[in-house]
Structure 1
């Protein structure tokens, strides 16, 4: 039989040029932005050699990557951008707002078990003792807009305190305090319900420091007994049961977008 030479193996196609003005990001971050996994999980996948970029294994999580043109595979399966989704969760008290907790505490992702979802991340945080409206999304652009201090998206909290509230206390809350070198102010504060030993206040913030409301009240000699976020911008928690999660409707998502 005549000798037949094998054709040369075809090299991976050169990647297409990135979109005009697109900024490259580390490969692990791009995996996260595409909704495949968290950034930390992406770093592990890359280091383990499980990720191919434009046909080649890349082991550097910070390898500059352009999401619009990159051909990415994980374990041999192509990674494509997941459809954008925004979820509303009524966070119960006692859960931490993270995917994995090094201390083994239960996290908000317990509430998502059994649901067929792309990777979603919380938009901001509620501390372990706080409750109420928490958004989760794979839309990084939306998350960045909501978290940008310049956007001044108001967040409304119902807060139970350990003392009766009079106008003098409300005036001090509205005036704000200095705590640990940070200015803790509010957009508004009003009395919701008064009792003999405690009261419920409505406090609206348009910025968010770590444990903002609790620190402000503590600086005024007032303990926070319960803290429930009930609204973000024009989006209200409503009657969603504790621990329940649901996708936002198109109309609800529109309320989160900036006004033209």
Structure 2
């Protein structure tokens, strides 16, 4: 839910769960209730102020889970925003605990929905270190796709970036978002992932943003990723 006029995520959740927030005249108690900027939101009967819309890119470190809080007590991606006083922001898509790189955050649900739309959202580019040197047939199989249970998994493209004595780096581009898609796709071909780094979403590149650091997107970047 877009918690307009609320100073922090924890305070927002406390107010919502306490029944003090109404959306279009109805009390809501679920902090994840989706809203749009056109909806009327009030807190204790007072109209909430419009928030500053935020669009952020984080270079996610390995070992953090993409959730607000974790039932197992593991560190989450929100650790990277400690003391930033950003108000409520939500991840736009996900990266699993062992993966790194570009992870977007925003308090604009409509923009986030356009980014994550499997039909029209931007491509995602990954650099993947694997435990072998794939030959042309395996690279072709990544593009053609494999069956994993009831799903057909495929990459939009897969190319060899560089090789060592026993492993290699691949660049894999996805035009759809399935759970642990790259790891499952490679596992079906008996290839193990050593590192997985998302280096770009659409035209947005990770660049030299340090690990664990974040930055605001420019207006041009926001429009290029999820403009109407």
TM-score (norm 2): 0.87
Partner of residue 205, structure 2? 236
Tell me by how many angstroms 1:116 deviates. Answer: 2.2
Tell me by how many angstroms 1:165 deviates. Answer: 1.9
Question: Could you tell me whether the CA contact under 8 Å between 1:35 and 1:138 is conserved in 2?
Answer: no
Tell me by how many angstroms 1:35 deviates. Answer: 7.4
Distance 1:46 1:257 in 2: 28
Say whether 1:167 aligns with 2:140. no
Distance 1:84 1:66 in 2: 12
Partner of residue 86, structure 2? 117
Q: Deviations over 1:101-126 (max 9, x none)?
A: 11100000000001121211000000
> Aligned with 1:80: secondary structure?
coil
Matches within 5 A, 1:35-184: 36=6, 42=13, 45-51=15-21, 61=29, 68=38, 70=40, 72-74=42-44, 78-184=47-153
Question: Could you tell me whether the CA contact under 8 Å between 1:160 and 1:227 is conserved in 2?
Answer: yes
Matches within 5 A, 1:189-208: 189-208=158-177
> Aligned with 2:128: secondary structure?
strand
Q: How many residues align?
A: 223
Structure with the bigger RCO (C-alpha within 8 Å, sep 6+) is: 2
Tell me by how many angstroms 1:196 deviates. Answer: 1.5
> Aligned with 2:43: secondary structure?
strand
Distance 2:152 2:203 in 1: 25
Distance 1:88 1:52 in 2: 30
Distance 2:153 2:111 in 1: 25
Question: Could you tell me whether the CA contact under 8 Å between 1:158 and 1:228 is conserved in 2?
Answer: yes
Distance 1:49 1:229 in 2: 39
Question: Could you tell me whether the CA contact under 8 Å between 2:19 and 2:28 is conserved in 1?
Answer: no
Q: Deviations over 1:20-61 (max 9, x none)?
A: xxxxxxxxx4xx3647476xx64x63442433678x9x6553
Q: Evaluate the alpha carbon distance shift between residue 214 and residue 81 of structure 1 in structure 2; reply closer, same or farther with a 3 A threshold.
A: same
Distance 1:69 1:121 in 2: 19
> Aligned with 1:150: secondary structure?
coil
Distance 1:84 1:206 in 2: 27
- Cα RMSD for the two superposed structures: 2.7
Q: Deviations over 1:141-178 (max 9, x none)?
A: 11000111111410000000000122121111111111
